[in-house]
Amino acid sequence: MPPAAHPRRFLFLQGPTSDFFPDLAAALRARGHATFRINLCLGDRLFWRGPATDFHGRPAEWPAFIAAFLAQHGITDILMLGEQRPYHLAASAAARALGVQVVVTDYGYIRPDWLILERDGLGAGSRFPRDPAAILALAATPPTVDFAPHYADSFPRQAAADVLYHCASLLPFGFPHYQRFTLHHPLPNYLATGWQLLRRSGHSRGAEAVLDRLAGQECHLYAMQMETDFSVRAYSRFADNDEAIAAAIASFARGARAEAQLLIKVHPLDPGLKRWPRRVAALARAAGVAGRVHFLPGALHMDRAIGACRSVSTVNSTLAIRALQLGRPVLALGDAIYQVPGLAWQGEADAFWRDAPPPDAVLVEAFVRAIAACLQVRGVAFKRPGLEAAVRNAAARLDAGALNVPMAGVLG
């Protein structure tokens, strides 16, 4: 590997609970760059190889610590999984004040075998344009993207690593003042999620039965997200899923045709700590549409759910991108990267249920091609060879300084 023309100094914070960040650091070093790591908790230490700095202080001490570290080590780029975790928010602010580039990764806007690599932030914090003409211009040069899955990931590995990370981080060894970013305590959350996964086949049959019973009727889909998802917590006006669902049901009650039906689809990994069937039923009764709102368990394949419905509404789920590809009108109740004229509905929410036209097919194709070329790398985080592809493609994008600009070579 030839040395980098302009060597940079990359700092890694919390990343996926996999080998993605340590392998990416090794790939960047092989290209002539320097890499650094700060561990915030015991889980971070478990998912890193090589030298690292442990932060043992209190959260109030972190902003000054990270600012000093960035300056002392001449950091040029800081990498993190999502920018909304409290430690990451403070690190991003310190980085921007010093002119350090913030690089954010997460699981892809496009699924299943893509990862995000984006400058500054995701979703509402994304620098991706919201202007249709700018999107069409970005999509003019990249080649057509092959969206057929290339790599399989491993949910069992992801789940096991997630449990190890969060349970280890409950221990105070070395990090007595660490504050977790999750809403729920890991132990009841994992027990509840495991119970939901054991019931997955039954949930799938239940969801199919609802769709079969409503076949031939006008149906609209509301896609729930994980309540712990920062897309909901940071990029919407809603405090929780209850508020978002209530807003969607109330708008549906006011604006949809009298014969229309609303399907509330829970996220497939929702732990069920809240009894959503009861909550949804109560919200429907309060809005006067008790017989027209139906709860869908989370095991149903998204194309099956989208295909059975006339439209899709959500806070800002990436499921809506698939809905756009399938030609369904989309209502985004929060800030979303697809909140673009010609893609998501731009009028009053109550008018959406009757009046929303299908999205502009040309703009949808350009949008998906542009986010693939500018914001994504091909690969997965937990299973080889997809992990190796993700590392190779991410290293190439970072080495070239090609964040938020088209780079076709990282799409294969």
In a domain, 2, yes or no: no
Q: What is the pLDDT of residue 279?
A: 96
Give strand pairing partners of 171. none
Q: Is residue 221 part of a domain?
A: yes
Calculate helix-pair angle for 86-97, 62-72, nearest 10 degrees.
40
Query: Does position 273 have pLDDT exceeding 90, yes or no?
Result: no
Q: What is the CATH number of the domain that holds 169?
A: 3.40.50
pLDDT at 409: 73
The answer to whether residues 42 and 133 belong to one domain is: yes
220/82 same-domain check: no
pLDDT in tens, 33-77: 999 999 999 999 999 999 999 999 999 999 999 999 999 999 999
Q: What's the token pair of residue 53?
A: 């700095």
Query: Are 39 and 54 contacting, i.e. CB atoms less than 8 angstroms apart?
Result: yes
Exposed / middle / buried, residue 156 (Cβ in 10 Å: 0-12, 13-18, 19+): exposed
**Do 147 and 163 fall into the same domain?**
no
Give the pLDDT score at 113: 94
Residue 1 within any structural domain of the chain: no
| 282-285 contact pairs (CB < 8 A, 24+) | 283/242, 283/245, 283/246, 283/249, 284/249
Q: What is the average per-residue pLDDT within 308-328?
A: 96
Q: Is residue 3 part of a domain?
A: no
Q: pLDDT (tens digit, 9 = 90+) per residue, 158-194?
A: 999 999 999 999 988 889 999 998 877 788 777 867 7
Q: What is the pLDDT of residues 134-166, one digit of tens each?
A: 999 999 988 788 889 999 999 999 999 999 999
Q: In terms of domains, do 134 and 268 share one? A: no
Q: What is the pLDDT of residue 5?
A: 65
For a pLDDT cut of 70, what percent of the chain falls above it? 98
Same domain? 140 vs 195: no
Mean pLDDT for the chain? 92
Q: Are residues 107 and 196 in the same domain?
A: no
- Tell me what pLDDT residue 343 has: 98
Domain with 46, as residue range(s), is 9-155+370-405
- 198-225 per-position pLDDT tens digit: 767 777 787 788 888 999 999 999 999 9
- CA separation for the pair 133, 356 (Å, rounded): 21
User: How many Å apart are CA 377 and CA 255, to the nearest integer?
Assistant: 40
Q: Quick: pLDDT tens for 89-114.
A: 999 999 999 999 999 999 989 989 99
Q: Say yes or no: 258 and 355 in one domain.
A: yes
Per-residue pLDDT, 2: 59
CATH number of the domain bearing residue 91:
3.40.50.20
| Terminal-to-terminal C-alpha distance of the chain | 20
Q: What are the Cα distances from residue 286, in Å, to 224, 283, 377? A: 19, 5, 45
Most confidently predicted of 139-153, 267-281, 321-335: 321-335
Res 203: pLDDT: 73
Please indicate, yes or no, whether residues 241 and 139 belong to a single structural domain of this protein.
no
Read off the pLDDT of residues 360-389 as tens digits, 9 standing for 90 and up: 999 999 999 999 999 999 999 999 999 999
Q: CA 375 to CA 241: how far, in whole Å?
A: 28
User: Residue 1: pLDDT band by 50, 70, 90 thresholds?
Assistant: low
Could you tell me if 254 and 350 are in contact, meaning their C-beta atoms sit under 8 angstroms apart? yes
Give the total residue count for the chain.
412
Residue 286: predicted pLDDT? 97
Q: How far is residue 45's CA from residue 50's CA, in Å, rounded to a whole number?
A: 10
pLDDT at site 100: 98
Is 161 found in the same domain as 140? no
Average pLDDT over residues 355-363: 97
Is residue 356 one of the residues assigned to a domain?
A: yes
Q: The dihedral of CA 169, 170, 171, 174: what is its sign? A: positive
> For 22-31, 270-279, 282-291, 347-356, which range has the lowest pLDDT when averaged over its residues?
270-279
CB 50 within 8 A of CB 22: yes
Q: How much is the average pLDDT of 278-307?
A: 92
Please tell me whether residues 217 and 145 are part of one structural domain.
no
> Does 411 reside within a domain?
no
> For residue 34, what pLDDT is reported?
98
Say whether 103 sits in a helix, a strand or coil.
strand
- 312 and 168 in a common domain: yes
Strand order in the sheet with 376-378: 53-54, 34-39, 9-12, 77-81, 101-107, 114-119, 376-378
The count of structural domains within the chain is 2
- Token pair for 77: 């780029």
Q: Is residue 362 part of a domain?
A: yes
Whether 361 is covered by a domain: the verdict is yes
User: What does the alpha-carbon distance between residue 70 and residue 88 come to, in Å, rounded to a whole number?
Assistant: 13
pLDDT at position 300 is 72
Q: Tell whether 230 and 275 lie within a shared domain.
A: yes
Cβ atoms within 10 Å of 179's Cβ, excluding its own: 13
